Amino acid sequence: MMKNCDDKITLGCSFDCWYGYGIKQPVSVDISVKTNSHILICGMSGSGKSFCENILFAKLAEKRPDSECYFADYKQEDNFHYLRGCSRYFPYKRTLEALDSVYGILQKRQSGEDESRKPVTLIWDEYVANILALQNEDKKKAATVMNRVSEILMIGRSLAVRFFCSCQRPDASVFPSGSRLNYGIIMVLGAPIQSIYEMLMPTEYISRIEDREFRTGEGVLLLQGSELHFIKVPMVRDVERMQELCIRALTE
């Protein structure tokens, strides 16, 4: 139950309540440092990953206005066009600059040089596609990037450094040392793809999906590796307000 409302954000509505009873039942998650709030959104092209990312980004920024965010947009998508003027927005070939900054903060906090704990979030759209492209160009560099991301995933929580990424398929090979286990919030959107479910969930959880058919912006939510929900990400009512929150988190 909701013990501390201040540390919760709503990710969407219950899929079953929406379709079964026509009710908007919010599904919320804890984003405090007590829990792992690294976020992974997966799903095939067009499943609604980037759309959902915008919404969650705005919610994180709204909940903690002191957040400092960095945005790596490998595909330089239309969904994020409005972020292009922001100082901490890094498209295409510049995505590694976002990682360098956030990894630098992690190291300073880890060594004790930086004792502040204001929330820092690195958002990386199409992370896996970016790694695969890097591997083709420079294998060593790709390995360094993956190891840094793994380190953020493994020790970031207590240092208030969060990783939030989207990808089509979260293959274990791009999350070295089993670091994929550190995502506290996992969403798989769109049409069910058995192989993606198998990467992220035990068989008994997959069987609980039964015959549900997920469309764009709908799917499975797994919290802390143990709490399973089926959700629907609703349309955004106030796009301008959402964009304003994200722009501020990438600028101030």
Ligand X SMILES: Nc1ncnc2c1ncn2[C@@H]1O[C@H](COP(=O)(O)OP(=O)(O)OP(=O)(O)O)[C@@H](O)[C@H]1O
42-101: which residues touch Mg ion (CB under 5 A)? 49-50
For residues 171 and 183, the answer to whether their CB atoms sit within 8 Å is no
Contact between 217 and ligand X by CB under 6 A: the answer reads yes
Strand residue runs (E) in the chain = 8-14, 26-30, 39-42, 68-73, 89-91, 120-125, 161-167, 185-189, 218-223, 227-232
CB under 6 A: which stretch of 23-31, 46-54, 98-106, 222-230 binds ligand X?
46-54
- Residue 74 CB, shortest distance to Mg ion, in Å, is 10
- Residue 50 CB, shortest distance to ligand X, in Å, is 3
CB under 6 A: which stretch of 1-9, 40-48, 98-106, 150-158 binds ligand X?
40-48
Among 216, 224, 244, 247, binds ligand X (CB under 6 A): 216
58-117: which residues touch ligand X (CB under 6 A)? 77, 79
For residues 83 and 55, the answer to whether their CB atoms sit within 8 Å is no
1 binds, among Mg ion, ligand X, none (CB under 5 to 8 A by kind): none
Contact between 130 and ligand X by CB under 6 A: the answer reads no
Q: Which residue has the CB atom at the shortest distance from Mg ion?
A: 50
DSSP secondary structure letter of residue 209? T
Core vs surface per residue 80-102: b (16+ CB within 10 A) or e? bebbeebebbbbeeebbebbebb
Edge-to-edge strand ranges of the sheet holding 8-14: 26-30, 8-14, 227-232, 218-223, 185-189, 39-42, 161-167, 120-125, 68-73, 89-91
Contact between 170 and ligand X by CB under 6 A: the answer reads no
Contact between 50 and ligand X by CB under 6 A: the answer reads yes
Interface with Mg ion (CB under 5 A): 49-50
Interface with ligand X (CB under 6 A): 43, 45-51, 77, 79, 216-217, 233, 235
